[in-house]
Amino acid sequence: MSIVLTPGSVPISTLERIYRSNEPVKLDPSCFPALDASAGRIREIAGGDAPIYGVNTGFGKLASVRISREDVATLQRNLILSHCCGVGAPLDYVIVRLIMALKLISLGRGASGVRREIVELLEAMLERGVIPVIPGQGSVGASGDLAPLAHMTAVMIGEGEAWYQGERMPGRAALEKAGLQPVVLAAKEGLALINGTQVSTALALAGLFRAHRAARSALITGALSTDAAMGSSAPFHAEIHELRGHRGQIDTAAALRALLAGSEIRDSHLEGDERVQDPYCIRCQPQVDGACLDILRQAARTLTIEANAVTDNPLVLSDGQVVSGGNFHAEPVAFAADQIALAICEIGSIAQRRIALLVDPALSYGLPPFLAKNPGLNSGLMIAEVTSAALMSENRQLAHPASVDSTPTSANQEDHVSMACHGARRLLKMTENLFGIIGIEAITAAQGIDFRAPLKTGIELRKAHALIRAAIPELGEDRYLAGDLEAATKLVSSGALNACISPGILPSLEIEGSIGN
């Protein structure tokens, strides 16, 4: 069963499904008339004498150079080969699949002037598992993600490299093994394929999906830490957050209330606890994590629009005009990536403070130093907390905005660029670090809960605690901990920790009225 895309209205949930599955992707046939009409218009122009950028002219600073009719196909092929200048480690298979799907959506809007054969080959490659090898570095996020998209397109013309059935091979060989034929690009088709923001957008979407998964897990581990520290649930009272009015804060507080419901630990200190207020990392979870949720939701709206956008150049307009513009400039994506980076950083920062609280006997209300049994002889989780601090610090450095770092390229023709591509790519490393921080909090919080026995945490959190304990035994005597940290990180990154919680408790990336709902 294929995922059917209706260009212009593909929701964020479908984009995440493409990212997380290996399902074939196809365009809704309703887009074909517009697709055919724009391709026909480009053929008409290519046969005429009027200069149209990218159709019968050179590119970038060479746009004033006219190209003869008999050289139009060679122009497009040369464009792809000359732009295959990517460097660095190849992008992950799932990212490339998403890039290809985003390119299908953009071309399917019918403003790019490509023939139906182009989208049919992209569909077939996705269906049969021919996935281009795309080096991750080389785009500045303006004039499109030129170098990485050229590597994608190179496979379509029988060049470059691709993955097929787990093996890396020349692009032409991969097509042949899959029973496919390379295309010969017609006028403007090479430009339409590489002149877009799909690589930056796919990377930003991947960072968004991973960040949202971590944010939901952080609510679980944050609630566990609250109970382990015998923190108060009073700051999560609904009316406090309604009086402020931020949607993310309201939703986050509701999730924390639901997670802590029925906790014997919480009920045990509702009376007689002399502490007036908890540290901010406990008390202000709705305000901090809720603000991060709002940022992720805003980024989701921006990236949903971009995923459905036409971002190449020039464009075939509804009245038949072919007009050059600047939709290839990825500034919206760059800003979204920078916002996601800030959210990732802050989710990890406040989680790390909860870890530090639990291992510090001056703050943890009756828990032993470093959550160790027989502390002194045992160091417990002392260095696990240090590792979480190292990951947090690395994310702070990576959170520096990429969008402000423009530099001129292409002989000053492209004199302001977005840096969206590497701004989005760094989200993958940042979320990996965040998964690690949340995983360490899962370990420390579960250990803290164990020390509160025979009192039990809430019903939902018991499920999370049981899942953690199934993967990571309670820490008694000191042992080799690297495997525990790896297992806990996997519980977060795989989504298993979130999946153990009843549906409807953890906040969604989409809210009522958001674009794509």
**Active site positions, annotated:** 53
Distances (CA, A) of 327 to 190, 402, 418, 423: 17, 19, 12, 18
Distances (CA, A) of 269 to 220, 232, 234, 369, 457: 21, 8, 12, 21, 13
Report d(CA 405, CA 512) in Å as an integer.
35
Let me know: does 337 contact 419? Beta carbons within 8 Å.
Answer: no
- Scan for tokens 């018991």, then name that residue: 462
Torsion, Cα 119 121 124 125, to 10 degrees, reads -110
Report d(CA 499, CA 506) in Å as an integer.
10
Report d(CA 489, CA 506) in Å as an integer.
19
**Strand pairing category for 87-90 and 131-132:** unpaired
Take residue 168 and report the two structure tokens written for it: 């890396």
Task: Give the per-residue SS3 of 244-271.
Answer: HCCHHHHHHHHHHHHHHCCCHHHHHCCC
Report d(CA 7, CA 365) in Å as an integer.
56
- List, in sequence order, every beta strand (DSSP E) within 281-356: 315-316, 322-323
Q: Residue 48: how many CB atoms within 10 A of its CB?
A: 11
- 510 φ, ψ to 5°? -100, 145
| Residues with Cβ within 8 Å of residue 72, at least 6 apart in sequence | 46, 55, 56, 186, 187
Torsion, Cα 441 16 499 345, to 10 degrees, reads 10
Report d(CA 355, CA 156) in Å as an integer.
50
Torsion, Cα 51 54 59 64, to 10 degrees, reads 0
| Residues with Cβ within 8 Å of residue 499, at least 6 apart in sequence | none
Torsion, Cα 248 253 255 261, to 10 degrees, reads -170
Report d(CA 504, CA 208) in Å as an integer.
20
Let me know: does 180 contact 224? Beta carbons within 8 Å.
Answer: no
| Cα angle, residue 432 at apex, residues 426 and 435 outer, rounded to 5° | 140
What radius of gyration, in Å, describes the C-alpha atoms of the chain?
26
| Cα angle, residue 141 at apex, residues 136 and 146 outer, rounded to 5° | 65
